Amino acid sequence: MTVRPDLSTVRAYIQVPATALSDDDLTRIMDTAGQDQDARCTVPADTYPAALEQAWLRRIQREVSARNLPLGMVGLETEYGPQRIPAWDALVEEHERAFRTQVVG
């Protein structure tokens, strides 16, 4: 079984205090990010590669950042109007590329 970093490590990485995001909410986000990664990647059972860990942390960071944004919109007062947080993250893709499960059909 893959052992991912614990709650305190994740909280230190995303730098969001417990007063802004409860432990229950962060744990739910961590579990969801892990399920997303497991569904898309072949995660080694004996070790958790640093690249996958970084991608997992990035998934969590993106989820936390978007959680209070209506429809993922940011910059409502900018010159060019609102911008949407992209669904595709180049850093997550780069870190997970070597571990992606290929599906044909």
- Reported as a single tens digit per residue, the pLDDT across 46-97 is 899 999 999 999 999 988 887 776 655 555 566 665 566 666 788 888 899 9
Three-state DSSP class for residue 3: coil
Answer yes or no: is 56 within a domain: yes
Residue 58 structural domain: 7-99
pTM: predicted TM-score of the whole model, two decimal places: 0.79
For residues 32 and 37, what is the distance between their CA atoms, to the nearest angstrom? 9
How many domains does one find in the chain? 1
Q: Is residue 15 part of a domain?
A: yes
Neighbours of 31 (CB within 10 A): 11
On whether residue 49 sits in a domain, the answer given is: yes
Say if 2 falls within a structural domain.
no
Instruction: Determine, yes or no, domain membership for 1.
Output: no
Residue 41 domain-assigned?
yes
